[in-house]
Chains A and B, each alone.
Chain A
Amino acid sequence: MSYTKKDLVGMKDLTKDEILFILDQAEKFKEINKREVKKVPTLKGKTIVNLFFEPSTRTRTSFEIAGKRLSADTINFSSSSSSTTKGETLIDTVKNIESMNSDIFVVRHAYSGSVKFIAENTKAGVVNAGDGTNEHPTQALLDLLTIKEHKKKLEGLNVAIIGDITHSRVARSNIWAMNKLGINVKLFGPKTMLPKETAPFGCYIASNMEEAVEDCDVIMMLRIQKERMSTVLLPSDREYAKFFGLNKSKLKKAKGDCIIMHPGPINRGVELSSELADCKQSVILDQVENGVAVRMAALYIVANNI
């Protein structure tokens, strides 16, 4: 099995075998990140441009580290300093950078579907680093890799994704992938943060926090993304923490070895109590560590297909 597409746009487009293939390759890249010299010459001479039309620090840094560890030249391009703020169209910007013989674009954009649009209009390989409320495939892959490492399997696990489902591209990518991998997904969040139509996701919607976490192997808490909400969807952080946040007593309903995940950055005390964010069951920093390996695998795979 291999991966033949020139882009990695979303988990919705991938088959189960393709997902498992990328995870297998990412596992192999982990060893490089533990070496004293964390660098291999694989993508020497390739140019990777991080096109970030939306602010991000951790994802961009993770991609930048991944590219550099593969010996590619990585260049960061952020929207505040780009010509899109001067009125240039998105495709013109992309075409201009492509003309400088760039090989791979890592794209983050506030509009859903924009990354697919870019991928269709460039010869370069494109990796989605988050598009609007649509997808964030490398985050889902790093989540799956972390789950696989801790649970030694994926199929048949019970996973709860809790929080702002509507605005979460992380949730969407995870749901598409988990459904394909035979993982049972439960969703829970305030009614104002659940999509009107949940049927396409094919997930069970829990009616309260206790039911959501019950018998879970994995609890994935989402960040409240106030920057993506057009209107006020929750009365207060305190009330959100009470009804939708995870704390020690609610965690007792889950399996004893349940792991706690969060895509970061955490609003401590809101979606996750500080005590849980730093506890043994929390695998949040493992997720960050796995992010580099997953992105190295994604860049390596895409580079081989362009």
Chain B
Amino acid sequence: MSGREILNAHEIDSIITRLAFQVIEKCQDIGKMKLIGIKRRGAILADRIAHKINEFKKTSVDVGYLDITLYRDDLSEISDFPKILGTEINFDIKGKSIFLVDDVIFTGRTVRAAMDAITDLGRPKKIVFVALIDRGHRELPIQPDFTGKYVPTSLDEKINVMLKEIDAIDSVTIEKM
């Protein structure tokens, strides 16, 4: 782990619980609620939020996983080969309240791409955006509806969200690049 820890495992869990309640409060008709996580870490967070909702509401909320690689507007500018991870959404989007989940919101371009991808799959009733961390520096007029933690950063800082499903630890750190 590198950088200064700003959230530990317990704090992440508490934030996810709060976000789950905010999602429940926002959506009156739980039957029309669908969670979509942006791959990879947003997908894990969506699973965790869904798990909490299922526990509290004794229900089973559908979760989908979105790969936004094919919708990026910077394919020619990025150096690493953008590997397609695949979208797995096995429910109908049309008329549903979509809760879009990601780990960090930064420029807003990922969320824009995600909204484009979702609307290509159908016309949802609404899209609500849930972010674990908002680090600022928006380049598009996009704001999360629910934020786990607002972390003011400078552009030379990096936020690392680590989740035990892929990183073996739950932690959020901030580091200088």
Contact = CB atoms under 8 A, between A and B. Distances in A.
Interface string B62-95: 0000010011000100000111111110000000
Given A31-B86, A304-B75, A3 B81 contact: yes
A47 to B, nearest CB: 14
Contact of B70 (A2, A37, A41): A41
A25 B83 contact: yes
Q: What DSSP secondary structure best describes chain B's contact surface?
A: loop
A2 B81 contact: yes
Given A28-B86, A31-B87, A37-B120, A42 B71 contact: yes
Contact of B71 (A4, A31, A40, A297): A40
A42 B75 contact: yes
A304 to B, nearest CB: 6
Interface residues of A, number: 21
Given A37-B121, A39-B120, A2 B86 contact: no
B122 A36 contact: yes
A304 B120 contact: no
B176 to A, nearest CB: 29
B157 interface: no
B81 A304 contact: yes
Contacts of A32: 70
Interface of A: 2-4, 25, 27-29, 31-32, 35-37, 39-42, 70, 297, 300, 303-304
26 contacts: A2-B83, A3-B81, A4-B81, A25-B83, A28-B84, A28-B85, A29-B84, A31-B86, A31-B88, A32-B70, A35-B120, A36-B121, A36-B122, A37-B120, A37-B121, A39-B120, A40-B70, A40-B71, A40-B120, A41-B71, A70-B70, A297-B84, A300-B70, A300-B84, A303-B75, A304-B82
